Amino acid sequence: MLVKGSKIDFAKVRKVLLIQLGDIGDVVWTEPTIRAFRETFPLLEVSILARGGFGELLEAHPDVRRVFNVAGSKGGLLAEIPAQCALVGALRRERFDVVFDLRAGDRGALMARLAGAPVRVSHHYSQGIPFWRNSLFTHIVQPPPLETLVHGAAEQTLGIAREFGADTNDRAPRLRVSDRVKARVSAILRDSGLEAAGRWVSVNPFSRWAYKEWPHERWAPVLDALWARHRLAPVLVGAPEESRKAALLAARLAGPVFDLVGKTTLAELAGVLSRAAFHVGVDSAAPHIAAAVGVPTLTLYGPSDWHYWAPPGERHMVVAPTDGCAPCFQKGCEGKGWSRCLEEMTVERVSAAVERMAERIARDSDPP
């Protein structure tokens, strides 16, 4: 429901900017909203503003005209000024008709105002934001009710699109991998020996947040069993800062392992994941990307609510706490950075889930 501003006639709108300054998963889950605008208004030109290079995941998307990135700087605010001025100039030259800020932060609100569009839209927020934020928008939409949000992360941004008549029947994110990136991925796989390895699974045992991680040493028996029973070699993926943890885990494995942690860009990671038999890992960016490129996933959840974040559909599986306080939405038990619900998740339970996924993949791959 609009609480500020009036309805917009999108038949007269040509250029739209969607600002999504959230994490990688948020960028992935914005894809259905992009599709909703283009399916409903085919002549609309949709561009994206993301942070930290996350927008490269959408550069090959046929419904995205242009991707802009807010790049952070380690040199502090003064060091950022030239790059930010250049970005604002590039946005203003686009002459967007409407800008949507899909997050609650103040930076997105400022970028929406600086982009120069006459119409600026966001959700209404009343807590945890600067008092001036809502005043920067010409249109404010009441956020979806909580009982709606639990049915999928796409609803958070689709709600604002529906307010202006845009919608899609498919709420599952869909990412594309460009031919250029596919060629780079082929080189990565060839150089790492994966092209000769046969079928393999991608694995992300690590997260930016330690409270989302399953104890690292427990992955070894799970992955060794997967190799012994199905000859599916694990391919570790993750961010550069997780390289040391990946090396320690790889040393624990008795079977073959391929370590690509920190060795791909985000777009290349999407390409790598697209070639896996399936993906298994913890609640982080990789499962979202894997599902969006069409790969079955098995994800371990702890404090987060899997109903909200897990990819929809029968091809995807979840291992989540069955009792206790989860989902608690906290950053670890008592704020200590670790989660009891994940500590109590046994090797036997995870291994059984991985076995079910492997058997399903083998069954689906068998010729009739």
pLDDT, tens only, 143-180 = 766 665 555 788 888 989 999 999 999 999 999 999 99
Flag whether 172 is in a domain.
no
Question: What average pLDDT does range 289-315 have in this prediction?
Answer: 92
CATH for 106? 3.40.50.2000
Flag whether 158 is in a domain.
yes
Tell whether 29 and 113 lie within a shared domain.
yes
Residues 181 and 56 sit within 8 Å (Cβ to Cβ): no
Render pLDDT for 179-189 as a digit per residue (tens, 0 to 9).
Answer: 999 999 999 99
Rounded Cα–Cα distance for residues 280 and 286 (Å): 9
Single out the residue of 296, 286, 318, 289 nearest to residue 204, CA to CA. 286
Count of domains observed in the chain: 2
Rounded Cα–Cα distance for residues 63 and 79 (Å): 34
From 108, 131, 162, the end of a domain falls on 162
Tell whether 113 and 207 lie within a shared domain.
no
Tell whether 289 and 314 lie within a shared domain.
yes
Give the three-class secondary structure for 208: coil
- pLDDT at position 335 is 75
Flag whether 356 is in a domain.
yes
Flag whether 169 is in a domain.
no
Flag whether 32 is in a domain.
yes
Tell whether 155 and 196 lie within a shared domain.
no
- For 15, phi then psi, to 5°, come to -125, 125
Flag whether 68 is in a domain.
yes
- pLDDT at position 147 is 60
| pTM (2 d.p.) | 0.93
Contacts of 293-297 with CB under 8 Å at 24 or more apart are 293/175, 293/177, 295/202, 296/357, 296/360, 296/361
Question: 41 falls in which pLDDT band (50, 70, 90)?
Answer: very high
Tell whether 131 and 194 lie within a shared domain.
no
Residue whose token pair is 């930010």: 84
- pLDDT at position 336 is 74
Render pLDDT for 46-100 as a digit per residue (tens, 0 to 9).
Answer: 999 999 889 999 999 999 999 999 976 565 656 678 888 999 999 999 999 999 9
Residue 59 is given by DSSP the state: T
> With pLDDT > 70 as the criterion, what percentage of the chain qualifies?
95
Parent domain of 75: 2-162
Flag whether 285 is in a domain.
yes
Q: How far is CA 144 from CA 23, 55, 135, in A?
A: 20, 25, 20
Question: What average pLDDT does range 276-297 have in this prediction?
Answer: 97
Residue 366 is given by DSSP the state: S
From 102, 131, 162, the end of a domain falls on 162
Tell whether 139 and 189 lie within a shared domain.
no
From 129, 162, 195, the end of a domain falls on 162
- pLDDT at position 338 is 79
Q: Does residue 195 surpass a pLDDT of 70?
A: yes
Tell whether 81 and 214 lie within a shared domain.
no
Tell whether 49 and 185 lie within a shared domain.
no
Tell whether 150 and 183 lie within a shared domain.
no
Tell whether 92 and 199 lie within a shared domain.
no
Rounded Cα–Cα distance for residues 59 and 270 (Å): 12
Flag whether 46 is in a domain.
yes
Residue whose token pair is 């989660």: 339
Tell whether 134 and 196 lie within a shared domain.
no
Tell whether 128 and 200 lie within a shared domain.
no
Over the chain, what is the mean pLDDT?
91
Give the range among 164-178, 202-216, 334-348 with minimum mean pLDDT. Answer: 334-348
